[in-house]
Structure 1
Amino acid sequence: MSSRELASLHERWTAYQDLPRLTDHWYWRPGWRADRQFYTWHLTFEHQPELDHLVTAVQSQLTLPGLDLVPLDGLHLTMQGLGFTDEVTNSDLETIVTETRRRCAGMSPLELSLGPVDPDAEGIGLLVRPWDRVEQLRATIRDAINAVWKTVPEASEGFRPHVTIAYSGSQAPTAPIRDRLNAIRHQPPAWVTIRQATLIALRREHRSYEWTTVATAPLGL
């Protein structure tokens, strides 16, 4: 694990020890509403049995008040947003997909480690390693967007790769959750191979994220 990853994990664990209550994750961010969808590039985790086994085992210890467990088919790593579906033209979308596919074809698939558990006020995630490969892919996607638009949405800074396995659904006390996490925080990670970036139309329903796949950009054609 790199020093950046170790420092982040240590910092977040330390902060969590002093956190009295969760923050409800499900407040409406600017522009969001129940009938609106958002185009975004994600990494998704279909057909990853090692990860499914780890998440199932960890989630079995997290059936606690205040946590909304993420279903296996809802696991994702947020990469780069484009914009709400009613604000992005079909022409721009198609051109961005073409540019992204062209650039991603020159990259190798990502071999990533997920784990250990990595909590904060709004949820419990799995630490993703190594960060640099994910950051390189995100930069490639941002370059593709920048070839079409003068301004790339979202800041390039502040990105921290993670995969959430439980969202905070209320302002529940953290003490019971900390007890469970301390017991499972050293479980071995799972390894996954990511062979594509996925463009999705994301929506929020029933205190969860759901999506429709719009396009994929294979890595290493």
Structure 2
Amino acid sequence: MSMSQRLDAADALPGAAELRARTCELLRLEPGSAVIDVGCGTGLAASELSSRGFRAVGVDLSPEMIDEARRRSPETDFLVGDAYALPVDVGFAGYRADKVFHELAEPELALVEARRVLLPGGRIVLSGHDWEALVIDSAYPALTREIVRARASVIVAPRAARGFRRLLAGSGFREISVEGVVGFLGGESFARGLVEVAVRMGAISLEEGEIWSAEQAGGSVAVTQFLACGVV
């Protein structure tokens, strides 16, 4: 499965559309305002913002993702760039980053960039999963814990989302608020992905992985998701 297919699958999960809508609501943008979506992927959120009358710019590190975003939403601006050095000047009323900060080794530097491009009074909205807080129903709790730990170990900052308030406050943002919601990650295919990582990391055996995967067929994984916003 390609990256764009994985993103499409994630966007189709229960609650995903509502979560995107909530991040847009928290931006509190005025009609015609400029907003930047960092880590835009295939551009769905940026396209939705454009359709609501905002001047959206999507930025992603992957040229392939940007090409796909441009193909899907030619009416929206998309640029290749990373969170540490955004390819734009100051002038944005809103900054949005969804499922991005757990991949950043130096999130404080990304927030310096966010402050640079935001206008005075501009709003930042961050959202993401807590990768150490996966909730999985299983008759093998010890095995499940090892699988979750293994998956979290290959993520740069698996606990980043639970620290959004601290990060924003430490970077000088004010009027900070944080919300927590329970989301769901894909069932059978996601479970197989968890097992593949755990076996590769040596956390479990192939046989244990096969037993656990069979048990998880048709199931789903609940995960704590955090949404945080602040003002420059």
The TM-score range, normalised by the shorter chain, is: under 0.3
Structure 1-normalised TM-score? Answer: 0.23
Structure 2-normalised TM-score? Answer: 0.22
With CA pairs under 8 Å and 6+ residues apart, which has the higher RCO, 1 or 2? 1
If each structure's strand is expressed as a fraction of its own residues, which one has the higher value? 1
If each structure's helix is expressed as a fraction of its own residues, which one has the higher value? 2
